[in-house]
Amino acid sequence: RIQRASSLAEDVYEAIFAQLMSLKIAPGSRITVDNLVKEFDVSHTPIREALGRLEGEGLVLKTHLIGYRAAPQITRRRFDELYEMRLLLEPHGAAKAA
């Protein structure tokens, strides 16, 4: 198996992800690309790639002509709804797979 070094965008993604998970970037707060460029000492491209990936995962929201924002924290009600949905779907999927 070929070992491949992680890309710069991957390293930036992991750094931003860690900040989101540790709440260094607070839920709902604005994320400015220029600040991240200065903080990580990288170009705009890996920052935008990482933010795009985080947006796809629902951890970051992008608003046209405004920029990026950390996703708000999930409410207890929304958590319960998601958990209930998983309970409806996953046992059936596991039974089908078995």
Total structural domains in the chain? 1
In a domain, 77, yes or no: no
Q: What is the pLDDT of residue 3?
A: 54
Burial degree of 80 (CB within 10 A; 0-12, 13-18, 19+): exposed
In a domain, 95, yes or no: no
CB 28 within 8 A of CB 72: yes
Residue 27 has which token pair?
A: 């839920």
In a domain, 88, yes or no: no
Which helix or strand (DSSP H or E) is residue 79 part of? helix 76-97
Q: What is the pLDDT of residue 74?
A: 87
Residue 39 one-letter amino acid: E
The boundaries of the domain holding residue 42 are 8-72
Per-residue tens of pLDDT for the chain, all 98 residues: 555 556 888 999 999 999 999 999 999 999 999 999 999 999 999 999 999 999 999 999 999 989 999 999 889 999 999 999 999 999 999 999 99
Q: What is the pLDDT of residue 85?
A: 94
Closest of 36, 55, 56, 57 to residue 45, by C-alpha: 36
Residue positions counted in the chain: 98
- Which CATH number fits the domain that encloses residue 49? 1.10.10.10
In a domain, 52, yes or no: yes
Residue 8 one-letter amino acid: L
